[in-house]
Structure 1
Amino acid sequence: MSTKRILILLPLLAAIGAGGVWYTQKLGGEPQTAKAAAPPASRSVPVVTRVAEVRPVAERIGTIGSVQPIAAIAIKARVDTVVETVHFAEGQEVKAGEPLFTLDSRSLEAQLRQAEANLERDRANLEKAKGDVRRYGELVRTNAISRTQYDAAVATADALEGTIKADLAAIEAAKVSLSFTRITAPMAGRTGTVNAKTGTMVRAADTAPLVTLTQLRPINVSFNVPERHLPTIRRALTEGALKVTAAIPGSSQPPAEGTVSFVDSQVDQQTGTILVKGEFPNTDTRLWPGQFVDTVLTLRVDPTALTVPDAAVQTGQQGRFVYAVKADETVEVRPVTVARSQDGVAVITSGVAAGDRVVVDGQSRLYPGAKIAERADKPAGDKPAGDKPVGDKPGDGSKKKADTPAASGGAS
């Protein structure tokens, strides 16, 4: 074939090839392009839902409290003498009336004996004076003595009667002073540091106590609450006792339970709070004076509170809202009003009704109208939404299927 013919055929073959390619794309390529351009099928978003329910919910105030003893008595000496015996060990618990200290009583016993001797002497003088008055009375009637002598005898007898009363008072004072040498516990409690050992000289004017006795049972916990709760507290106190609990931070023991025993008579203007005290039996001495505890005051119990898990409530530009699940398994945004949140539960006053399903996990991928699917890998022990009881854990196959895109798409 000549070169001229080849040059003529090459453009012709190129034109035929281009036309074939165009025809092929026109027949088979357009459906594929359209299929690729079509939007993918809607996929369900895996979420966890719960049901809004009506149940009793307590209104509580949590704050930090300090443990304070109802009584802490500083035991001091009331006479000047020497400590003879200490009857307890530091930190020992004692009962009311148990001996604590015995002080040297020899000088006070001598003073008591002296006062008793003075009484005997003055009583003898009084008897003599009364006899003189009787004799002088007979003599003055016969004018054997002057009236002045008789009056002097009567005055002497009256003075001795006063002296005897003074002697009796001195004896009583000596007995009281002598009783101060036997120091006993005025109440049940725990002793602190002993500042006076055996042989220590103590005086009534000393400022440092011999020992401090602290009452542990019962015991008080003091805490402050905002003044806005004062009307509720006062109203609740008229209806009955207000419960309060005190938990030791970091302790595995359950909180101690007590009741409100005192509400201060005025509000602190600087802090806007009011002082409240709770009394605890403290039978196990769990609460210790000076300790800080987590205090929870229960103001009231709302028996018909509409609640949702706290995790269901989201915050947006328009305020708080929840994702509510409709009958077709799509979600909508519902603004809600939250009265209070505590213990992982939000009390709702408007926006949802009892029985409504709300999303508690997976909200970050949701939008109004989004299709949802209940997630299969819920934490063990979680109560699923609706009336279905908690079932067995899903098998590995179902869990794997829920995690694949195909499974998510198929749930649509």
Structure 2
Amino acid sequence: MRRGAVFLFGLAILAASGVFLWRAQHSVASAGPAGTRSAPTVHVASVAQRDVPIYVRGIGQAQPFNTVQLKSRVDGQIDRILFTEGQQVSAGDPLIEIDPRPYQAAVGQAEGTLAKDQAQLVSAKADLDRSSSLLKNGYASRQAFDQQTAAVGQLTATIKADQATLDAARLNLQFSTIRAPITGRVGKRLVDAGNVVHTADDTDLAEIVQLKPITVLFTVPQDALPDIQAGQRRGALVVEARSGNDQKRLAEGRLTLIGNQIDAQTGTIELKALFENTDETLWPGQFLNARIVTSTRKDAVTVPMAAVQTGIRGKFVYVLDGSASTVTPRDVGMLQSVHGLAVVDGLKPGETVVVDNQDQLAPGMVVKVEPGSNDPMALGPRAEATPS
């Protein structure tokens, strides 16, 4: 029994081996003659030499150049709202009117008091002139003359006080019409007509924000500070405001402030840039990516980022031999990470690199180049470099 089992086991092994050999031979036969596999199709790009700006990146938020909370400086009932929510207003435009009648009455009263005291002063000055003449001729006492002089002085002081009271009354009358202190965009109204406002309540009536110009506050890593300071010593630094996904350039401004200290918790420093914002592309509260051009790398050697691959030894690209249509891997050093491009060393301008299907390639392999693909910018936008 034991020998029979061993014999059957041996037959099973021989049968399995036969099946394996048959499958292997069938696979070889179906593959056809060696070297008949079609060449992979690839896109290529030329190694280009160009000036590449070097950026420091930061994340920030747009803020109004000026913000004003409209408040009433006098008490009273709101008669009219003279603005439309969201309206662009100019400095001096009337926005809110508070019932002016009590302040008109105060102005009239102050004007009457001033006129009365001015008339008394005229009479007192005439009496003083007569008293002076009588004193010279010995018909009046020195005491009477001094009393009349004091009366003239008292009325003169009273008139000054009356004038101040009149000025204050006129100022309050002016304050009954609330005007825009700055040019900007007014927000929603916070108090409706018919409500009574009091200066003691400190109530906000509306808000105006100045959009032209506008500022952007953003932070960058503290390690970027020396480059920013060096660039600023050479001149005003350009700051680009970009969309939140960093794909769209929104506006260009200039750096106006470097913070006076580094945030110890985050290791970042705050910067401020000013943008004219004539087309109102930037909006208060908008989150943005900001980039500062600190310097420019002259005659940098660039390739599309897609051409750079990572291998065991580091970065490399496949270089195309145009005459033989074969590819050869070449080690490169990437000096900067680039928006769509890579600044590298180890390549020469004019050489051709493969930008796709690298996983199908091997050293010395013949490839088929897609017609019209040898455009260094075909697969990438304008060179916009950032520090590596």
* TM-score w.r.t. length of structure 1: 0.72
| Equivalent position of 1:258 in the other structure | 252
| Equivalent position of 2:17 in the other structure | none
1:55–1:138 Cα change, 3 Å: closer
- Find the residue that maps to 2:104 and give its secondary structure: helix
- Find the residue that maps to 1:136 and give its secondary structure: helix
1:211–1:306 Cα change, 3 Å: same
Is 2:50 aligned against 1:59?
Answer: no
| Equivalent position of 1:374 in the other structure | 367
Structure 2: gaps (5+ residues): 1-28, 379-388
Is 2:156 aligned against 1:161?
Answer: yes
Is 2:237 aligned against 1:246?
Answer: no
Question: Aligned AA for 1:344?
Answer: G
| Equivalent position of 1:339 in the other structure | 335
Which has the larger Rg? 1
**How far has the Cα of 1:153 moved from its partner?**
1.7
| Equivalent position of 1:100 in the other structure | 95
In 1, Cα distance between the equivalents of 2:47 and 2:294?
A: 24
User: Within 5 Å, which residues of 2 pair with 1:9-408?
Assistant: 46=40, 48=42, 49-237=44-232, 238-240=234-236, 242-247=238-243, 255-270=249-264, 271-325=266-320, 333-348=329-344, 350-364=345-359, 370-376=363-369, 378=370, 382-383=373-374
In 1, Cα distance between the equivalents of 2:343 and 2:196?
A: 66
**How far has the Cα of 1:100 moved from its partner?**
0.6
1:177–1:213 Cα change, 3 Å: same
Asked if the contact 2:327/2:366 (under 8 Å) is kept, the reply is no
1:95–1:248 Cα change, 3 Å: farther
**How far has the Cα of 1:80 moved from its partner?**
1.0
> What percentage of aligned pairs have identical amino acids?
36
**How far has the Cα of 1:212 moved from its partner?**
0.5
Question: Aligned AA for 2:235?
Answer: E
> Which whole-Å deviations, capped at 9, do the CAs of 1:231-284 have from their partners, x for residues lacking one?
444454543551413336599xx6322212422242423233333333334344
**How far has the Cα of 1:305 moved from its partner?**
0.7
**CA RMSD, 1 decimal:** 3.3
| Range moving further from structure 2, 154-163 or 219-228 | 219-228
- Find the residue that maps to 2:200 and give its secondary structure: coil
In 2, Cα distance between the equivalents of 1:128 and 1:184?
A: 43
- Find the residue that maps to 1:268 and give its secondary structure: strand
Asked if the contact 1:227/1:267 (under 8 Å) is kept, the reply is no
**How far has the Cα of 1:45 moved from its partner?**
6.7
In 1, Cα distance between the equivalents of 2:231 and 2:375?
A: 37
> Which whole-Å deviations, capped at 9, do the CAs of 1:371-399 have from their partners, x for residues lacking one?
122234x4x863279xxx9xxxxxxxxxx
